[in-house]
Amino acid sequence: MSAAAVFEMGINTNAEIDDMPLDTRFELGSEITPIQAAFLERHGYLIFGNVASTDEVARINAEVNRIESEWIEEDRTIVNGVPIFQGLGLENKPMMQRIPFSSCYSDYIKNFIRGERFEPVRRLIGENVRIGDSEKDGCVVNTYVNVPGSVYPKLGWHTDGLRDLFYFRMPKQMLNVGLHLTDCPASNGGLRLLPGTHHQGFFKMCFHKLYFIDHKPDPNEVTVETRAGDLTIHDGRLWHRVQQSPHTGAASVRRSMYVPYLTDDFEPKHESSKTPFYHHLGALARKLKLWRHR
Ligand SMILES: O=C(O)CCC(=O)C(=O)O
Ligand SMILES: [Fe+2]
């Protein structure tokens, strides 16, 4: 293709994106289309509908529930140096609200996230990309619920590049891939994104909002409505949050699973891995919350 033709294609793609709603649900095919790539570049995220079937979602949820019961039984509080968020869920029963390294404890999840349908997502991230089952926090499952003993009913504004900011470096593009395991209409809270903020500079990425403390809706935020089985991709530099459900009990439950696609050096964790200091802070905050509840 000539340079002029490529240039023209770019102009047409941009014009098409101007007309697309911010909550467009795309279809995940065998490749990421130029429109999808351009939408991601412009806004910093993509929403794909119906990536996992109802049966697959049910199976993953069953696996997560099994891991949760086993860990409750074992009184496990930490995996590879990463604390599990432990709260009290429905009927005031112990609940694991953030399960790290899930794919190390479930062959089904481990194989599922390596399925052919995710190849275009993996290739979008880069050629030399691997799934880090035992790196960073592994494949994390978040379960939000709004009950008095919950330590995780919502998540304040943040970017996922905070760790880099501590080292005074601008995070490189990192794409976070989330599989949604429950239906979540806007009326049940859920994921909120601030489009285009992945293009902001270092200063705004540090100070645009108060990390994790600020929960206030932003007039420019986009509400991501998901059905169980949808997949989202968001740029790690984008500001986002999880809005608390206005419902309580079972109606407020929302579950998401984030698959770690990594490109940096292989750094597996193990039982004696040190707890990163920000996890110490979080663990303290959750303890205080539960203590106040008791
Ligand atoms: O639950 C979600 O969809 C978002 C979770 C999130 O932003 C995070 O864990 O950093
Ligand atoms: Fe996040």
Residue 224 CA, distance from chain mean position: 12
Note whether residue 281 is domain-resident. Answer: no
CATH number at residue 218: 2.60.120.620
- CA 260 to chain centroid: 9
Ligand 1, atom 7: nearest CA belongs to which residue? Answer: 241
279 occurs within a structural domain: no
Segments forming the whole domain that contains residue 245: 36-265
Q: What DSSP character marks residue 246?
A: S
Whole-number Cα distances in Å, 122 to 115, 174, 191, 233, 260: 11, 12, 22, 11, 10
Distance 21 CA to ligand 1 centre (A): 22
- The rounded Å distance from CA 191 to ligand 1 centre is 7
3 beta partners: none
Is the pTM higher than 0.85? The answer reads yes
Contact present, 239 and 157 (Cβ < 8 Å): yes
- What domain count does the chain have? 1
158 Cα: distance to centroid of ligand 2 (angstroms): 6
Tens digit of pLDDT at every position of the chain (294 positions) = 676 776 777 778 888 999 999 999 999 999 999 999 999 999 999 999 999 999 999 999 999 999 999 999 999 999 999 999 999 999 999 999 999 999 999 999 999 999 999 999 999 998 899 999 999 999 999 999 999 999 999 999 999 988 777 777 777 778 999 999 999 999 999 999 999 999 998 899 999 999 999 999 999 999 999 999 999 999 999 999 999 999 999 999 999 999 999 988 899 999 999 998 888 888 988 988 888 887
Give the nearest ligand 1 atom to 180 CA.
3
Helix%, strand%, coil% for the chain, nearest 5: 35, 20, 45
Any domain includes 123? yes
